[in-house]
A and B are shown apart, each in its own frame.
Chain A
Amino acid sequence: MDYFPYLRKEKLPHIWCSGCGDGIALKCIIRAIHNKGLDKNKIAMVSGIGCSSRTPGYVDFNTLHTTHGRAIPFATGLKMARPELTVFVVTGDGDATAIGGNHLIHAARRNIDLKVLLYNNHIYGMTGGQVSPCTPMGDYATTAPYGCLENSFDIAGLTVAAGASFVARSTVYHVKALEKLIEKAIDKEGFSLIEIMSPCPTSYGKINKKGANKNLVLAQKTQSVPVNKAKDMSPEDLKGKIVTGILADRDIPEYIKNYDMLTSQKK
C-alpha cells in the first residue's frame, strides 16, 4: 500500500531513533485506518508530549499536539464538540499514567468514544530516560540510578477496571495482530485503549544493558503470551511476560450517546 497519502511528507524524516518502536506502531495505525477506509478529514489525532506524542506531527489528519499529560481531556473536548470525528489519542506511558493518569481513568470510567493508542516503553524517552510509572521494579533510569523502587502500573488492567469498552495489548513485534486490534478499536463504540509495547533502545535499553537495538524488539516475541494461554498460567510463570490480545470487549453505553439521549428526552 502507499503510505504517503497519510503522511505529511514535509515533516519527514521523523525524530525517532533507529530501533525505536514508535515508527512501527505508526505504520500499524496507518494500515488499520486504510483498511477501515476512514476518510482522512474525519479523523482527529491528539497527543500529549513525549517521543510517542510526536506521532500526530507526521500524519495528514486533523491533529493536535497538546500539553504533557492532557491529551485525553483535549480529545474529550474535541469529541464532545465534533462527535462525528473518529478521535485517536496517541500518548506515552509517562504522559498517560503519570502526569495525566487521572484523566485516563476518568475517561475510561465515562466511557467516551476515544481510541487511545498508548505506547509503553517503560521510560520517559523524550526527556532522556527518567523513571516512569511503568518502569519495572528494579530496572534502571536516570532518576533511579540504583534501580526503580516502585511497583509499575498494569496500564491495560487499570483501564479495564476503570470501565472502558475495549482494552487490548500488543507489541511492535506483532505488527499484524496490532493492526487488527487497532481496526477493532476503530469499530468499537466507547473508550478503547491499546497498550502498545514499543521499545526505547536509547533511553531505556542502554541504561538497562539490553544490548543491540533489535534485541528489544526480538525479546517481545519470546516474552509475549496470548491472553488465552495466560489464563492457565500461574502469576509466577507470568512474571516478565507480556500478555497480549483483547483484555476487555464489552458493550456498555457510550458517554456521548447517553448524553444525547438524556438531552433529547428533556426537550
Chain B
Amino acid sequence: MKKVLMGNHAASQAVKLARVKMIAAYPITPQTQIVEELSEMCGSGALDAKFLKVESEHSAMASCIAASATGVRAFTATSANGLALMHELLHWAAGARLPLVMVNVNRAMAPGWNIWCDQSDSLSQRDTGWLQFYVEDNQEVLDTVLMAYAIAEKVLLPVMVCYDAFFLSHTYEPVDIPAQQEVDKWLPEHKRDFILDTNNPKSLNALVMPDLYMEMRYKLEQAHQAAIPLVNETGASFYKAFGRRYHAVEAIHCEDAEVVLVTSSSTTSPARLVIEEMRNRGIKIGLVKIRMFRPFPVEDVCRILCGKKKAVVIDRNFSFGKGGIFADEIRGALCNETHRPLVYGYIAGLGGRDITPELVREIVEEACQTKHPPSLALWKGLIK
C-alpha cells in the first residue's frame, strides 16, 4: 500500500512491520515523531510491543540492550546529543553482540545548539562496533530498517540506520508499505542460541581477562567482515520479495566515467540531477552513493573507483584536524591501489545548510578544473 509519509513515520512503520517487541526512547528533535507514533501504536494495540519512556538516552540504550539480551527485537531512535550520551552503551551493545536496531536522525552537535542536518553525530560513533547505513529517501528509510533487522540477526551486531534531519525526517514522500504477511515471510521471528533464559541460566558480559579479550574483538571484526557480502545478499533477497534493490554501494553511470562524484544520504538526490545534466552535455561523469559506512565497503569502493581520474567526495560532516570523514575513508581504502584516482574532499551543508544542485555542480566543475587536490578539505559556501 502506498502512503505519503514523513521519513520519521516511514521508520516507525518499519518498526511495526518488523514486529519489534520492546521500544525504549527519550525525545529529541528531529527524531521524536518516530517514538511518538510508536507510543501510539503500542498504546492502541496496533503493535504488540512494550513502550518505555525512559529518563535519558543512556537509559534507553541500557533498556534496549537488556531487552535484546532476552532474545526479543528491540528498537530505539535518537539524534545528535542523545546519541553522544549513549556512547558508552553503544560499545556495550556491539561487544555484547546484540542485534539491536536504532535510527539516528543526523543532526548537528552543540554548541552552538543546532537541530539541523549534519552527519558528524553518527560518524563520531564510527568505532563503537555498530553497522551504519546512510539512506537517501523515505522509501529507503523503511526498507533499510527492515533489512537492518535481517542483517543484525545474522551477524549478531547492532545496526544504526541514519538519515538526514528535516530533509528526510520531516519531508513527506510516497512510500510503499509492504503487507504484514509479506514482511513476516521475509523477516520471520528470529531465534538466537545465546540469550537470557531462565530454563538455561547464563551469566552474560562477565569480566574477561587478557587471555580472551582480544579473541572476542577479533570475532567482532569477523562479524563485520561477514556483514559485507551479507548486505548485498540481503539486498538481493529483499528485491525478490519487494521489488526494490539495495547494495552497500550504488554506482551510477560509472562504467565510462573519468570523474566520479561520491555522496551519501540525501545529498545523493541533487547529485543525481547534476550528473544526468552534465552527462547530457557529454561530460564523462559518474556517481557513487555509499549506503554502508560500517563495515566500510573497501572492495566495492576500489573496484568502482580504480582506473578513474578523479573521485570528488562531498562530506556533510567533519573530523577536526583531518577532514571529511567519507573522503578520508575512501583515501584509506584506495591507498594501496596502483590505479587509484585523485581524491578531492569537499565539505558542505554543515548544520543544515542546503546542498543544492548548483552547489554540487560548482564543486564538480571546480574539481575537474583543479589539476591536483589540496591535502586539506575544501569548505564550500563559507560566508566570506
A residues touching B (Cβ–Cβ < 8 Å)?
A: 49, 65, 67-69, 98-99, 101, 124, 127-128, 130-131, 133, 142-146
Cross-chain contact B55 with A127 (CB below 8 angstroms):
no
Is B81 an interface residue, CB under 8 A from the partner? yes
In the bound assembly, the distance between CA atoms of A98 and B59 in angstroms comes to 10
Extra contacts, 13 of them, besides A130-B27, A130-B53 (Cβ < 8 A), are A65-B111, A101-B55, A127-B28, A128-B27, A128-B32, A130-B32, A133-B55, A142-B36, A142-B39, A143-B25, A143-B27, A143-B39, A146-B43
Output the nearest chain A residue to B41 by Cβ-Cβ distance: A145
Q: Name 28 A/B residue pairs within 8 A (Cβ), A-sorted.
A: A49-B113, A65-B113, A69-B56, A98-B55, A99-B26, A99-B55, A101-B55, A124-B27, A127-B29, A127-B32, A128-B27, A128-B29, A128-B32, A130-B32, A130-B36, A130-B53, A133-B55, A142-B36, A143-B25, A143-B27, A143-B35, A143-B36, A143-B51, A144-B39, A145-B39, A145-B40, A146-B43, A146-B44
In the bound assembly, the distance between CA atoms of A99 and B110 in angstroms comes to 17
Output the nearest chain A residue to B45 by Cβ-Cβ distance: A146
Q: Give the total number of A-B pairs whose CB atoms are below 8 A apart.
A: 48
In the bound assembly, the distance between CA atoms of A70 and B53 in angstroms comes to 20
Contacts of B26 in A (CB 8 A): 98-99
Output the nearest chain B residue to A130 by Cβ-Cβ distance: B27
Output the nearest chain A residue to B43 by Cβ-Cβ distance: A146
Contacts of B25 in A (CB 8 A): 143
Output the nearest chain A residue to B29 by Cβ-Cβ distance: A127
Q: State the majority secondary structure of interface residues on A.
A: loop
Output the nearest chain A residue to B55 by Cβ-Cβ distance: A98
Output the nearest chain A residue to B25 by Cβ-Cβ distance: A143
In the bound assembly, the distance between CA atoms of A133 and B51 in angstroms comes to 16
Size bracket of the B interface? 20 to 34
Contacts of B29 in A (CB 8 A): 127-128
In the bound assembly, the distance between CA atoms of A67 and B56 in angstroms comes to 12
Output the nearest chain A residue to B26 by Cβ-Cβ distance: A99
Contacts of A98 in B (CB 8 A): 26, 55-56
Most chain B CB inside 10 Å of its own CB: which residue of A101, A128, A130, A144: A130
Output the nearest chain A residue to B58 by Cβ-Cβ distance: A99
Output the nearest chain B residue to A150 by Cβ-Cβ distance: B53
Contacts of B85 in A (CB 8 A): 99
In the bound assembly, the distance between CA atoms of A99 and B59 in angstroms comes to 9
A120 shortest CB reach to chain B, Å:
16
Cross-chain contact B32 with A67 (CB below 8 angstroms):
no
In the bound assembly, the distance between CA atoms of A143 and B40 in angstroms comes to 7
A201 shortest CB reach to chain B, Å:
19
Contacts of A127 in B (CB 8 A): 27-29, 32
In the bound assembly, the distance between CA atoms of A6 and B44 in angstroms comes to 49
CB-contact partner of A143 in B53, B56, B81, under 8 A? B53
In the bound assembly, the distance between CA atoms of A98 and B40 in angstroms comes to 21
Contacts of A146 in B (CB 8 A): 43-44
Contacts of A133 in B (CB 8 A): 55
CB-contact partner of A67 in B40, B43, B51, B110, under 8 A? B110
Output the nearest chain B residue to A64 by Cβ-Cβ distance: B111
Output the nearest chain A residue to B56 by Cβ-Cβ distance: A99
A126 shortest CB reach to chain B, Å:
8
Contacts of B43 in A (CB 8 A): 144-146
B44 shortest CB reach to chain A, Å:
8
Contacts of B35 in A (CB 8 A): 143
Contacts of B51 in A (CB 8 A): 143
B11 shortest CB reach to chain A, Å:
16
Cross-chain contact B32 with A131 (CB below 8 angstroms):
no
Contacts of B39 in A (CB 8 A): 142-145
Within 8 A of A (CB), among B23-63: 25-29, 32, 35-36, 39-40, 43-44, 51, 53, 55-56
A215 shortest CB reach to chain B, Å:
25
In the bound assembly, the distance between CA atoms of A98 and B25 in angstroms comes to 12
In the bound assembly, the distance between CA atoms of A139 and B213 in angstroms comes to 49
| Nearest 5 A/B pairs, CB to CB | A146-B43, A99-B56, A98-B55, A130-B27, A127-B27
Within 8 A of A (CB), among B139-173: none
Within 8 A of A (CB), among B283-310: none
Output the nearest chain B residue to A126 by Cβ-Cβ distance: B29
In the bound assembly, the distance between CA atoms of A98 and B56 in angstroms comes to 7
Output the nearest chain B residue to A99 by Cβ-Cβ distance: B56
A148 shortest CB reach to chain B, Å:
9
Output the nearest chain B residue to A101 by Cβ-Cβ distance: B55
In the bound assembly, the distance between CA atoms of A130 and B27 in angstroms comes to 7
Interface mask (B96-117 → A, CB under 8 Å = 1, otherwise 0): 0000000000000011010000
